[in-house]
Each structure stands twice: as C-alpha cells, then as structure tokens.
Structure 1
Amino acid sequence: MGIPDFQTMMRPVLVTIEGDEPKSLAQIRAAVAAALNVSDDDRLVMLASGKQSTFDNRVAWAVTHLTQAGLLNRPERARYMLSERGKKVLREHPERVDMSVLAQFPEYQDFRARKHDKQTEESVSVVSDELSPSEAIGKIVEESYDTLAAELLDRILAQPPTFLETLSLKLLSAMGYGGRESLLEHTGKPGDSGLDGVVRQDALGLDLVGVQAKRYDKDSTVGRPDIQAFVGALQGAQTSRGVFVTTGKFSPAAKQFAENVAMRLRLIDGMELTKLMVRYNVGVQVRETFDLKQIDEETFEE
C-alpha cells in the first residue's frame, strides 16, 4: 500500500503505545509498519537527503503531533506512553485520528499557533507548485524549525530550574556575547533574588551584562514586579544592561517598564528563546542537508 502520510499513522501509533510499558521509537516504528502493512522495501525508501527513511520520518512527525496534543507522555528519554487523554481519544475515535481531532486540545492549538506557516504535509505539493524550488524548500524548513522550537520548549520545561540558567548563558555565548565561555559566569543559587549569570564583555570585566532566567509554565506571565526586581539586581551589580529570559510570557506592563527604564534591557520569552536556540544551534543539531543546484552558465559559454 506504499507509505501512508503521517496523519494516517497517528491512530496506529496510539494503538502501539497502549499498555503499561513505555515504548521506544524503534518499537513504535516496527508495530506501525505491521499495522499498516508497510513492506520492508517501502521502509527502506529514503528522503531526498538520503539520511533518513521516509517511513521513519513520518512516524516521528506523528509522534511529535500526538505528544504536543497531550496524547502521549515521555516518562523517560526517547520512550513514550499513552496519557489518559490519549486513551480517551483512542476509545472515541475507532477509525482515524488526525490533526482535526487534535485541534480540540488547547495545547495543540498553542503548538500550531507558534508556527508561522500552518501548512500540513498534504499541502506541501501545492506549495511546491506555486513557488520556486528555493522558496518551497524555505517554507518547509521554516515549518520544521517552528515545530522544533515548540518541542524544545517542552524539553526545557521538563528540566530543573537551574537548567534554564546555564542554557541562557550558553545561548548568549553562541550569539557572540562574552566572546568565550570563560567570560560567562553562572551566579544563580536556588531561591535567590539576584542575577543568575553575568556576561563579561571584556577580559577585565569592566563591561558587564546581567542575566536573569525564570522557568515558568509556557502560559504563565512575568509581570512588572519581576522586571523591577531585576533592575534592582542590576544596580547592585553596578551594570546598566541586562537580559531577562523566561519560558513563559511577559505582561504588557513588564514590557512597557523595560522600554522606559533608564537601562538597556532585553526581554526574551519562551517562543523567542527556542527560535534563537534553533538559529544559533544550541540544543539542536543538523539532521539533513540538501544541495539545490542550478546550471553553471560558464560551462556552456564559448
């Protein structure tokens, strides 16, 4: 029957994971292939990059969407279990589970809202017909990056609070602040109200940037009092520049205060944080590379 699209794979993925034991991606792939009668030959069909099979790629996308909708839990690294919501969806939809089913859940709506381009896999061919190859590839890459950013935020929230502090410093280093890691200092302690880190822009430490990192739920809001406290911490460190990073959002009052205070403050919310991570290759790695080629006109010139 060939290789089904990733939405067709969603219900078989749920059926596969049903049970008391976490399942690995390898177990999920094998069971889905059997359930959908995907042949061994079809499972070997590769993406254009030649670095991953089309089947494995689509199973991974199905798992990603189901996880973002709250139907799957990740109790340990690279292993999945069915959530109570997943069990309920499996009972209520005996024929098919797809994106239209997932759209009822707020978490999935937020996941889709974080994407600039809400193209589904089925619409990729339409995009390719309307755009040049370069533009079409750009659209697909953008879609992939938005999905990756959403996954990154979930992974960060699953880590201890101090993880965000060290991650923020690592990101700033990747962005060129401090020049090298030896000029970035993690100063935060559990429960403290001071700075979580300091970026020394010069070897003598005369030019400092204070860093504050707060791990909040993605829908929680950092208010003006938090920014005011941050300003106080910056004053205590005798610096007038600071970066406040959160996995949540900033209230309008917090943003307004940051703009008007007599300091140079940069607020980075959860959405921007993960997009910066993707852009500067922090917490991610390149999986595939495509070469888009064109005619070399010089070869054919007389």
Structure 2
Amino acid sequence: MIPTFQQIRAQVLRALNVGGVMRAKDLRTPLAKHFNLTNDELNTKYDSGNGEIFLDRISWALSYLFMAKLADKPRRGDYTISQKGKELVVSCTDEEINKYINDTVSKPRKTSGETDKVIGATIMTSNNELTPQEGLYESYENIKKSIQADILATILSKKPQAFERIVVELLQIMGYGGEIKDAGFVTKLSNDGGIDGIIKEDVLGFNHISIQAKRYAANNHVGRNEVQAFVGAVAGTPSKKGVFITTSDFTKGAIDYVESLNGTPTVILINGEQLTKYLYECGLGLQEERVFKVMKLDRDFWDAMDDE
C-alpha cells in the first residue's frame, strides 16, 4: 500500500538527515524500499494520468518540510535538512514530527457558504493523509456526489412528464439530433406505443432514437419485462435504436437480456447514477457556483533560466 502523506513527511525528513542535498526523485527509491512498495505501487499514477502518486506525495512532503522550516532549499528543486529539522529527527517520533508540521503549517481557516464548508471540512479531516491537491480533488468529488444526490431527489419530486422532457433535453445537449431544429420531443401520453420520447437524427426523420423514461424510486428496479416491451417497440422503428433511462436501476435479468440482443435492435440502458453524472457534466438545470484555477510551475520556462 502506498504510504499516506503523513507517513512520508517524517521519513523524508529522516532521509534528508543522512542524504545531504536531495531532490524528490532521489528520495523515490530509498523511500520505496523503506515502505516495501511493489513496482506496481511505485509506478501507480493518478486516474487523471497526471503523474505518479508516490513521487507526487514526496514532492508535497518536501514542500511542507520547507514551509515548516525543517528543510532548506539551497537552489530550486534541491532540499537539505535545516538545523531545526536535525533537532526534531534526534528528539522526536514520527508522530511528534507530524504534529509539529501540522501546528506550524496547517492553519484551519474560517469558511462561508455551503461549498466552502464542504471543502474546509474535507481538507481538515484529510490533511494528515492526503496532499493538498488530493484533498482538493476529494472535496470536488464529495461536492459532486452531494449535488448528484440532490438532482435525483429533485427529479423524483416532479411529475413523470417533467422527467420525460428532461431526458429528451439531456440527450440533445449531449449531441444527439445534431443541428436539427426541434430534433427531440415527448410523445403524447395517450398514444406513445411504449415510447416516451423521440430524437430525430436527420431532417426528414427517417432515422431516430426512441426513448423510454421511468421515474422510479431507488428500490424499484426496472425488470426484464419492461425492458423487453420497450425493445419490441424499438424493433418496429426504422432505425431500431433506443435508450431506456430510469432514476433507479435495472435488474440483472434486464441487463442480461439487453446484452443478449447483440445490437439487434440497439438499446442502451442508463440508470439513476449514470443519469445524474450526465446531468452534472452537461450542467442541465445547474448553475456554476465557483471556478477554482490551480496553477503549477512551468518547468520548461524556469529550466531555461540560468541557476546561480
């Protein structure tokens, strides 16, 4: 298991105490050996692909040691232990070193607004284990999940016909229907033939996507019979394409049945979790509250300059 941010900080300080002037990459191998990391763990990258997790945590550990004045920077990228750092290494345990860093650097801030409260609470509880960047990403994901839960609750409070309109609008925002004016529409309740909405894929309407929308409570899953009825309706259309969307989920029988169709007709199933993700990503029914711009050093820019 990749060690936490807190565990790395103390060990980085001890490594500096014996290693002299070191860079983050110099610490990678000895610390990996100390923590018994496998090659897979050592090379694990963030889901975004933006760098190795272990090396990134080492870099943040060095930054925190510098901010706590336990390490000095003789030049950019180089670190060496300070006199205060040497004193702590000799007299303190890892827990005491981390407490000193937290007391010196990690100053809680007052927050206002619901978003700030979530971010503040997440980073406060995570700062001993995550880097600030990881804490920010975790805060973002927590906020996102909270908003998605609110989206689902709001949909369930509306009439089924409103849900059908939302689904049609969402698919158009996602690019289905292209540039065709009024490409999507909800069918009439009295004669929908098992199809709640349609999105035209060409001007004359030869090809279109059929939509079924079920506004169900979370514990009321859509079964095979309902999906099979929709498949029958889609099979009778020229394009034979359909999307079945529900606020709940699908039973295993329903999922297995659609997979057995092998694209004849083509039917896509979207459950409540996927639906709220699409709504969030498209911003349908949402307002942008705040944008955080996170900067990082342009290494090529600075490396082009002469060092002292």
* Common fold by TM > 0.5: yes
Where does residue 278 of structure 2 map in the other structure? 276
CA–CA separation in structure 1 for the residues paired with 2:249 and 2:186? 23
The 5 Å alignment of 1:31-70 reads 54-57=111-114
Secondary structure of residue in 1 paired with 2:209: strand
Letter in 2 for 1:292: V
- In the other structure, the counterpart of 1:252 is 252
Letter in 2 for 1:150: A
Where do residues 113-192 of structure 1 align in structure 2 (5 Å cutoff)? 122-180=121-179, 182-189=182-189, 192=192
Kindly state the Cα deviation for residue 129 of structure 1 after the two structures are TM-superposed. 4.4
CA contact (8 A) 2:123 2:136 kept: no
- Closer, same or farther: CA 212–253 of 1 in aligned 2, 3 Å: same
Per the TM alignment, residue 158 of structure 1 is displaced from its structure 2 partner at its CA by 0.5
User: What is the SS of the residue equivalent to 1:156?
Assistant: helix
- 2:269 alignment partner, SS class: strand
Q: What's 1:84 paired with?
A: none
CA contact (8 A) 1:212 1:230 kept: yes
Please give the per-residue CA displacement for 1:31-77, whole angstroms capped at 9, x wherever unaligned: xxxxxxxxxxxxxxxxx9xxxx934327987xxxxxxxxxxxxxxxx
In the alignment, the residues of structure 2 paired with residue 228 and residue 272 of structure 1 have an alpha-carbon distance, to the nearest angstrom, of 21
Q: What is the one-letter code of the residue matched to 1:170?
A: E
| Cα distance, 1:206 vs structure 2 | 2.7
Residue 197 of structure 1 corresponds to 197
User: Which TM-score applies when normalising by structure 2?
Assistant: 0.56
Q: What is the Cα-based RMSD across aligned positions, in Å? A: 2.8
Counterpart in the other structure of 2:7: none
Structure 1 residue matching 2:113: 3-state secondary structure: helix
Superposed displacement of residue 272, structure 1: 1.3
What's the CA shift for 1:217? 1.2
The 8 Å contact of residues 185 and 199 in structure 2, kept in 1 or not, is answered as: yes
Contact 1:149–1:274 (CA<8 Å) still a contact in 2? yes
Q: Which amino acid aligns with 1:136?
A: G
- The residue correspondences of 1:198-217 to structure 2 (distance < 5 A) are 198-217=198-217
Q: CA deviation at 1:210?
A: 0.7
Query: Deviations for 1:2-35, whole angstroms, at most 9, x for unmatched residues?
Result: xxxxxxxxxxxxxxxxxxxxxxxxxxxxxxxxxx
1:218 aligns with 2:214: no
Q: Which runs of 5+ in 2 are unaligned?
A: 1-108
CA contact (8 A) 2:234 2:265 kept: no
Distance 1:184 1:213, change over 3 A: same
Query: Quick one: structure 1 residues 166 and 58, their matched pair in 2 at CA, closer, same or farther if it must change by over 3 Å?
Result: closer
> Quick check: 1:134–1:292 contact (8 Å CA) kept in 2?
no
Could you tell me which residue of structure 2 aligns to residue 301 of structure 1?
305
Q: Is the 8 A contact 2:245 2:269 kept in 1?
A: yes
SS in 2 for 1:222: coil
Letter in 2 for 1:221: H
Q: Is the 8 A contact 2:218 2:249 kept in 1?
A: yes
Distance 1:289 1:59, change over 3 A: closer
Q: How far apart are residue 201 of structure 1 and its match?
A: 1.8
What does 1:54-133 align with in structure 2 at a 5 Å threshold? 54-57=111-114, 122-133=121-132
Runs of 4+ more than 6 Å apart? 58-61
Structure 1 residues 58 and 264: alpha-carbon distance in aligned structure 2, compared to 1, 3 A threshold: closer
Question: Helix, strand or coil for the counterpart of 1:210?
Answer: strand
Shift of 1:138: 1.5
Which residue is 1:7 aligned to? none
Secondary structure in 2 aligned to 1:185? strand
Counterpart residue number, 1:267: 269
User: Normalized against structure 1, the TM-score is what?
Assistant: 0.57
Say if 2:148 and 2:277, in contact at 8 Å, map to a contact too.
yes
CA contact (8 A) 1:248 1:270 kept: yes
Aligned residue pair count = 194
Cα distance between partner residues in 1 of 2:188 and 2:164:
7
What do residues 217-259 of structure 1 show as CA deviations (whole Å, max 9, x unaligned)? 1210111111111012112333321100111211111111111
1:164 aligned counterpart, secondary structure: helix
Report what 1:67 is aligned to.
none
Alignment deviations for residues 110-163 of structure 1 (CA, whole Å, 9 cap, x no partner): xxxxxxxxxx96553353444343332221111111111111111001101101
Distance 1:59 1:138, change over 3 A: closer
Residue type of the partner of 1:57? E
Distance in 2 of aligned mates of 1:58 and 1:292: 17
What letter matches 2:189 in structure 1? K
Percent of matched pairs sharing the same residue: 31
* 1:190-226 deviation digits (Å, cap 9, x = unpaired): 6854211111222232321111101111210111111
Native 8 Å contact 1:223 1:253 kept in 2: yes
